[in-house]
Amino acid sequence: MRVRQLFVAGLLTALSGIPALAQQTETDAQSAERYFDRLDQKKQGFFTLADMQRVEGKAFKRIDINKDGEITLSEFTDGIPSDRQDIIDRFTRRFELADADDSGEVPLQEYMDFCARVVAAADANQDGMVTKEEFIAASSSGSAE
Ligand SMILES: [Ca+2]
Ligand SMILES: [Ca+2]
Ligand SMILES: [Ca+2]
């Protein structure tokens, strides 16, 4: 269980995007909440895998700077100030999580599979809906120590 929680916690900042870096005092729970609100576009109090894939599908197109249908590490870390090696390292680890086959590129399908892993790990009661409570619990408990 702990590994699952860490996994979700590890994904959050990557998926929330670089603008999150402006608020470095933000806790994991706050970051999770902000990201949740972005996914819960209909304000229903939960999001589904389809919701996440719709939002992240758009993000993918933005990250894929050269529009070749695949994200590379340099595209993924583009825009991070070069003196923030800690952030670059964090994004690098997250890229490696998304790049399940270790090919150095993440095509859309791999990215969508990655979203499915996030939802599966966060949806504690496995009803297909990730509530804010589930999402925050999954993302904050793993980094509590
Ligand atoms: Ca690309
Ligand atoms: Ca790959
Ligand atoms: Ca659920």
CB atoms under 10 Å from CB of 125, counted, come to 9
State in Å: Cα 26 to ligand 2 middle.
31
pTM to 2 decimals? 0.77
Nearest ligand by distance to the CA of 70: 1
The answer to whether residues 121 and 4 touch, using CB atoms and an 8 Å cutoff, is yes
Q: If you measure from the C-alpha of residue 112 to the centroid of ligand 1, how many angstroms do you get, rounded to a whole number?
A: 16
Digit-coded pLDDT (tens) for 105-132: 999 999 999 999 999 999 999 999 999 9
Ligand nearest to the CA of 68: 1
Q: Ligand 3 centroid vs 37 CA: distance in angstroms?
A: 16
Give me ligand 3 centre to Cα 70, in Å. Answer: 31
Residue 62 CB coordination number (10 Å): 9
Indicate the domain borders of the chain.
2-17+26-140
Which CATH superfamily does the domain covering 2-17+26-140 fall into?
EF-hand (1.10.238.10)
Per-residue pLDDT of 10-46, as tens digits, reads 566 555 554 444 545 667 778 788 889 999 999 999 9
**Cα separation values, 14 from 77, 128, 130, 139, Å:** 10, 22, 18, 12
pLDDT bin (cut points 50, 70, 90) of residue 67 is very high
